[in-house]
């Protein structure tokens, strides 16, 4: 299960990760001893944020690994913690699909309470459709392990989350530093009867979605004089000899051969031979019709620079790349207050808005809630990603994404 840990800076994300890794015994003995030794030399007790730094240093040395991940194991399963080095990287990774989180832990400092980044991160968890969220109220030791301050912060965060139509699975009082309620139940908070962080994680069911066959063509090769098209199946399955449709045009194509298989299902990278020539950017599909359109309604978050009404950008959605123009920015949303401003001309860095896009030619999409990979896109300017968005075409007023 992939877990992302987010929250305001200094609220204890690294410490919590270190504690999770340490208390679940997921670190090799020698590693622990080394960290203990260094901590002693530095003159304080085991510093858990340090475990994470040490692991990070190690990973930096291993140039072959692209995405950095930390792992820990419970009796039930293995967890990979997805790194969220900074707010922008976090959003960028989520939008581009570099990270796929099954669950998120939102860390809030019990003493400082809900801060700007707490809200921003929570908003993006909702926006990006992270299915399960656990709230950890950390640093309980700083408020005397008392129930009252916990309840106050809990009320604040739960009420913000409610405003974006998100309800956390659990809200857990924790001291990551001392190890209370992270892996082991704490005796210092007898008033709390819920699960520890690992118990809460273990109780979550993985959400797997099933959908019709969708296969974006990524590349073509020639093997023994025969054209082979490769790519990742995003959803569904395909059999040798099957007739599928090729979008955006929608004509029929026979899958004559699947390399090294007669049947393949998502998630899988495959190579296929077909009766008609294909090219990068085409999407093969089966079953329901995808959304094929030149007009996109979307929620867009600006990652760098400015997004201007009337300007042209390149839209990329899986292997599709197409020029597009911003027709209108109908709304800007203040993530902190959830207030809205209508009819604006540009979105600046870190701003979010509702944007109408017109593509130069039709491209293939799905609703974000149906199939994330085809429901999200990035906008590029001179080859650089400057914004990310999710498709909201056909999303009704009462759908929670629209309300955002």
Closest C-alpha among 111, 103, 134 to residue 197:
134
CA angle 145, 148, 154 (to 5 degrees): 95
Selection from 373, 368, 379 nearest residue 402 by Cα: 368
Q: Does 14 bind ligand GDP (CB under 6 A)?
A: yes
Minimum separation from the CB atom of position 162 to ligand GDP (A): 24
Tell me how many residues contact ligand GDP (CB under 6 A): 16
Q: Give dist(CA 151, CA 146) in Å, integer.
A: 9
Beta-bridge partner residues of 265: 237
The beta strands (E) that lie in 303-382 are given as 307-308, 312-317, 320-333, 340-344, 346-347, 352-365, 376-381
Contact with ligand GDP (CB under 6 A) among 32, 80, 142, 164: 142
Residue from 11, 132, 214, 354 binding ligand GDP (CB under 6 A): 11
Work out whether strand 346-347 and strand 307-308 pair parallel, antiparallel, or are unpaired.
Answer: antiparallel
CB 358, min distance to ligand GDP, A: 41
Q: Based on CB atoms, which residue is closest to ligand GDP, 18 or 168? A: 18
| Nearest by Cα to 310 from 344, 345, 342 | 345
- Shortest distance (Å) from residue 178 CB to ligand GDP: 6
Is 390 a binder of ligand GDP (CB under 6 A)? no
Q: Does 139 bind ligand GDP (CB under 6 A)?
A: yes
Q: Which of 123, 177, 192, 247 binds ligand GDP (CB under 6 A)?
A: 177
Restricted to residues 294-323, the positions that interact with ligand GDP (CB under 6 A) are none
* Segment 99 to 138, residues that bind ligand GDP, using CB under 6 A: 138
Q: Which range binds ligand GDP by CB under 6 A, 175-183, 211-219, 324-332, 370-378?
A: 175-183
Using CB under 6 A, which residues numbered 15 to 74 contact ligand GDP?
Answer: 15, 49
CB of 322 to ligand GDP, least distance (A): 39
Range 49-52 contact pairs with CB under 8 angstroms and sequence separation of 24 or more: 49/14, 49/15, 49/18, 50/18, 51/17, 51/18, 51/21, 51/22, 51/27, 52/14, 52/17, 52/18, 52/21
Query: Quick one: which segment of 11-19, 119-127, 219-227, 316-324 binds ligand GDP (CB under 6 A)?
Result: 11-19
Residues of this chain that interact with ligand GDP (CB under 6 A) are 7, 9-15, 49, 138-139, 141-142, 175-177
């Amino acid at each position: 299960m992939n877990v992302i840990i987010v929250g305001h800076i200094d609220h204890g994300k690294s410490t919590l990760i270190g504690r999770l890794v340490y208390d679940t015994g997921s670190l090799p003995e020698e590693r622990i001893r080394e960290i203990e030794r260094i901590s002693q030399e530095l003159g304080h007790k085991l510093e858990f944020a340090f475990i994470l730094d040490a692991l990070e240093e190690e990973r930096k040395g291993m140039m072959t690994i692209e995405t950095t991940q930390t792992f820990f194991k419970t009796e039930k399963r293995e967890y990979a913690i997805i790194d969220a080095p900074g707010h922008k990287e976090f959003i960028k990774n989520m939008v581009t699909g570099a990270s796929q989180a099954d669950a998120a832990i939102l860390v809030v400092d019990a003493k400082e309470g809900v801060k700007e980044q707490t809200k921003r991160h929570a908003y993006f968890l909702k926006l990006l459709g992270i299915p399960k969220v656990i709230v950890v109220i950390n640093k309980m030791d700083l408020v005397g392990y008392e129930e009252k301050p916990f309840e106050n912060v809990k009320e604040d965060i739960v009420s913000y989350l409610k405003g974006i139509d998100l309800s956390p699975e659990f809200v857990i009082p924790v001291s990551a530093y001392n190890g209370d309620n992270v892996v082991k139940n704490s005796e210092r908070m007898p008033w709390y009867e819920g699960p520890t962080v690992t118990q809460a994680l273990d109780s979550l069911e993985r959400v797997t979605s099933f959908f019709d066959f969708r296969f974006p063509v990524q590349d073509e090769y020639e093997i023994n004089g025969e054209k082979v098209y490769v790519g990742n199946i995003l959803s569904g399955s395909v059999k040798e000899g099957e007739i599928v449709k090729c979008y955006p045009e929608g004509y029929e194509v026979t899958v004559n051969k699947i390399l090294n298989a007669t049947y393949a299902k998502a998630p899988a990278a495959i190579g296929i031979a077909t009766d008609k020539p294909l090219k990068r950017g085409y999407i093969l599909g089966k079953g329901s019709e995808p959304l094929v359109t030149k007009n996109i309604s979307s929620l867009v978050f600006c990652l760098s620079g400015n997004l201007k009404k009337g300007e042209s950008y390149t839209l990329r959605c899986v292997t599709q790349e197409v020029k597009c123009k911003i027709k209108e920015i109908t709304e800007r949303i203040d993530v902190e207050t959830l207030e809205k401003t209508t009819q604006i001309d540009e979105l600046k860095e870190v701003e979010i808005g509702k944007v109408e896009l017109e593509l130069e030619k039709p491209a293939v999409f799905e609703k974000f809630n149906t199939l994330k990979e085809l429901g999200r896109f990035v906008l590029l300017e001179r080859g650089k990603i400057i914004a990310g968005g999710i498709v909201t075409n056909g999303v009704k007023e009462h759908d929670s994404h629209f309300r955002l």
